[in-house]
Amino acid sequence: MSTPAEVAMAGGFTYGLTDIDGVVEMTLIADNLRNMKSFRLREDDILLCTYPKSGTHWTWEILNMIVAGKAEYTKHWQNSAWLEYRTEEELETLASPRIFHTHLRPRQLPESVWKLGCKIVFVQRNPKDCVVSSFCQESSQMWTDDARDTVCFTGSWSDFLSLYQDGCVVFGSIFDYILDWNKAAEQFNICQVQYEDMKKNCSKEIRRMAEYLDRPLPEKTYVEIAEACSFSNLKHANEKIKDQTYHFQWQQGTSGYFRKGKSGGWRNWFTVAQSERFNEIYKSKFNKPFPY
């Protein structure tokens, strides 16, 4: 019988995938993952934990601005501080407080995260919007670290949706990911943020994150950060202002990480039957109806 990583590759993924500890991962970072438990965290490290396409770039920039105390863009793209993608030596060179982003589950993180009580911000987004966003990314992104001249996923939307629902995609099942983080949130002091709430009132969510980080700021700074991190401003900053060293390669003419930045776009992609099936799977995993 094929493993989930094998199913993913047979289904249209063009980069190496490996099953590690029950989760599909990029082979490229397998060594980092195997050494992750002993990664040396600092007490003041901040972890931004997201399932891919939940608004990581957006929230990472916000967290950096909160820590800086002003609405000033970081020099680099967020991939400069990707916990499982960069080496420990590379990340060691970052100044404290380091703000990492990661797509790992609680059990995959460095062991010291819980002992040190590092601050954790966990962002969730409607999984239907996540799968659409992932499909658009994987169908137009190319790994710079990989010499092959091909996009990451070559199959159709319905092929992708089916693999996604089965957890045969990089970072595994979104459902299991959310369940694992919900469980961790019952035990630890984690700041839980919802993409859709950030869309509705970003300043309010920024204030909540700043207070959680014990770095409250004047009310006007929350508004300035929200404005600097609006979809169009942040897209412009990432593409035109930031140093491009840590940006990954996308197919010419595609929109990159900043595609639409909206809630509910899944309606343009799912058929009624696909939506109903997705809701059923959600219900069987969470024992409650699909909440969005």
Q: What is the 3-state secondary structure (H, E, C) of 168-223?
A: CCCCCCHHHHHHHHHHHHHHCCEEEEEHHHHHHCHHHHHHHHHHHCCCCCCHHHHH
**DSSP β-ladder status, 23-26 and 46-50:** unpaired
Q: For 45, list phi and psi in degrees, rounded to 5.
A: -65, 145
- Rounded Cα gap, residues 17 and 139, in angstroms: 16
- Tell me the per-residue interface mask from 221 to 240 with ligand A3P, x by CB under 6 A, - otherwise: --------xxx--x------
- Helix ranges (H only) for 29-120 are 30-34, 56-68, 88-92, 112-116
Choose the catalytic residue: 57, 76, 101, 103: 103
Any contact of residue 248 with ligand A3P (CB under 6 A)?
A: no
Binding-site member from 5, 36, 54, 86 for ligand A3P (CB under 6 A):
54
Shortest CB 188 distance to ligand A3P, Å: 22
Element (H, E) at 282: helix 272-286
Any contact of residue 171 with ligand A3P (CB under 6 A)?
A: no
Interacting span for ligand A3P (CB under 6 A) from 27-35, 37-45, 51-59, 269-277: 51-59
Any contact of residue 257 with ligand A3P (CB under 6 A)?
A: yes
Interacting span for ligand A3P (CB under 6 A) from 30-38, 40-48, 171-179, 253-261: 253-261
Q: N- to C-terminal Cα distance for the chain?
A: 35
Any contact of residue 50 with ligand A3P (CB under 6 A)?
A: yes
Interacting span for ligand A3P (CB under 6 A) from 45-53, 87-95, 106-114, 158-166: 45-53
**Catalytic residue at 247?**
no
Binding-site member from 4, 55, 127, 172 for ligand A3P (CB under 6 A):
55
Point out the residues that are catalytic: 103
